[in-house]
A and B are shown apart, each in its own frame.
Chain A
């Protein structure tokens, strides 16, 4: 009769657990964001990084379990980009009342989607991030609800893990979000009028080439 000894069964279970764990991918998205080349607007701003934004985690269970911890990196990106866009930047974890700055930015994640080469039949890993950035004036009045869509991809490489590929694609998506902020801010309905009224920007003077 075939008998499995306890020590052996423990090893088999350990090996099976290792194999199953190998199917799940967890990524702590990490990367550096360069300081953007842009013209500073002559307004002061408060960037509100809410706890939910800084701790954002995407969890997908199908077709394979994937979790992407985007929070720290997206907070870094918004700090770096907003820091280059405005004359002065303050960072807070809640909407200040009253605000000490002309403008308040509150970014929130609306949706994140990912795709692997096995799903799309393309040789790329993809990440989409959709933000809604609420823009408030000093008194807390809403100036605009700014939808910000970002996309990043990276080619699949032999012997590269899905985790590394998703990290790279996420960093590309975050860099794309930064590019969208720089190029789209003054074109956002509501923002251009608000800036014009303050004499901070003129539609005749393009903010970006």
Chain B
């Protein structure tokens, strides 16, 4: 009984807690024309972290069944070098300048992108504890001990409307989860999928901003 309770408490702790906040410019769904598309982009200008490309791909996949989404790298390559970490617009004024430029503006219009979703943040290990030792010998091997770590994901997504050059809304997600590895001969991992929970939270919330288009 005690063993079951212990296992249940460990499994529960292995879960991820996610908090989502959203801000909308208006109550209306964001309109999307027949030939218009969406791109999800990661912020990469900070020197100490990088918004993970796999998170951006995960969010894009979540939106893709409802909206036409252009892959991040395809878009960045088409407008090279204007969306590199050094040159990407950090505000709408800079975006307007790019749209006004005869070469860059024309190329941006050619991509058919109506909305840019900028995602900024990262997932990091915030705490670590315990220890485990593994050994192997002629008679066999095994691991003994207990190790744990906590991961925190914090991301903010901002929607830019290129049609009206204004912000369409923003979503903030904070997710936290503890993972464990218990070593009783074989190591038993209980992994909290923190980044995946953040992707799920952001993706589901962002979908609600847009009028459904794909059937």
Report A's interface with B, CB cutoff 8 A: 33-39, 122-124, 153-155, 157, 172, 175-176, 178-180, 182-183, 208-209
* Contacts beyond the supplied A124-B50, A175-B81: 8 A-B pairs with Cβ under 8 Å: A36-B80, A36-B81, A157-B54, A172-B85, A179-B81, A180-B86, A183-B86, A209-B100
Q: Number of contacting residues on B, CB 8 A?
A: 29
Indicate whether A37 sits within 8 Å of B49 (C-beta atoms), given known contacts A176-B85, A179-B86, A209-B98.
no
How far is B86's CA from A183's CA once the two chains are assembled, in angstroms?
Answer: 10
> Which one of B50, B85, B86 contacts A155 once the chains associate, using CB atoms below 8 Å?
B50
Residues of A within 8 A of B131 (CB): none
Residues of A within 8 A of B77 (CB): 34
Interface pair A122/B80, CB less than 8 Å apart: no
Residues of A within 8 A of B81 (CB): 36-37, 175, 178-179, 182-183
**B208 CB–A CB distance under 8 Å:** no
In B42-62, the 8 Å CB interface with A consists of 44, 48-50, 52-54
- Chain B residue at minimal CB-CB distance from A179: B81
Q: Which of A37, A123, A182 has the most CB of B within 10 A?
A: A37
Indicate whether A122 sits within 8 Å of B86 (C-beta atoms), given known contacts A36-B81, A155-B122.
no
How far is B87's CA from A176's CA once the two chains are assembled, in angstroms?
Answer: 9
Residues of A within 8 A of B84 (CB): 175-176, 179
**B97 CB–A CB distance under 8 Å:** yes
Residues of A within 8 A of B94 (CB): 209
CB distance from A115 to the nearest CB of B (A): 11
How far is B53's CA from A34's CA once the two chains are assembled, in angstroms?
Answer: 19
How far is B52's CA from A184's CA once the two chains are assembled, in angstroms?
Answer: 28
**B127 CB–A CB distance under 8 Å:** no
Q: List 15 A-B contacts (CB under 8 A).
A: A34-B77, A34-B78, A37-B81, A39-B102, A39-B103, A122-B48, A123-B49, A124-B49, A155-B50, A176-B84, A176-B85, A178-B81, A179-B86, A180-B86, A183-B81
